[in-house]
Amino acid sequence: KQEVTQIPAALSVPEGENLVLNCSFTDSAIYNLQWFRQDPGKGLTSLLLIQSSQREQTSGRLNASLDKSSGRSTLYIAASQPGDSATYLCAVRPMDSSYKLIFGSGTRLLVRP
């Protein structure tokens, strides 16, 4: 059974810091991994999607890496801003016929001005 774990559960940093969020998964048989952002009272917004054949994806100040063989992914946020404060969730799409996603519990990020 696929399990997704995110560490740390919460993180508080001063504005301007570079930071890394971690995600691990137990079964390497995945099609892809996605990072989502969730703001309070709102739905999830997809940030980056990494296919299983890729090593990393970049969008602006965000960079996500994937090491499928070791079951790990990281989300790097450069020059953090207060507007980055949110919960970040990683999710894997298992290698089966559906398109369901299996989520971690998320990292709650607070960027202090």
Interface residue list for another protein (CB under 8 A): 4, 31-32, 34, 41-46, 49, 51, 89, 91, 93, 97-106
Q: Count of H helices and E strands in the chain?
A: 0, 11
- Take residue 95 and report the two structure tokens written for it: 């290698």
Output the smallest distance, CB 49 to another protein, in A.
6
3-class DSSP assignment, residue 83: helix
Residues in the chain: 113
Q: Looking at this protein, which amino acid is placed at residue 80? A: S
CB of 112 to another protein, least distance (A): 22
Instruction: Please report where in the chains the tokens 């790990």 appear, as a residue.
Output: 72
Q: Which is nearer to another protein, 46 or 58 (CB)?
A: 46
Complex with another protein: residue 16 or 31, whichever CB lies closer: 31
The least distance separating another protein from the CB of residue 90, rounded to whole angstroms, comes to 9
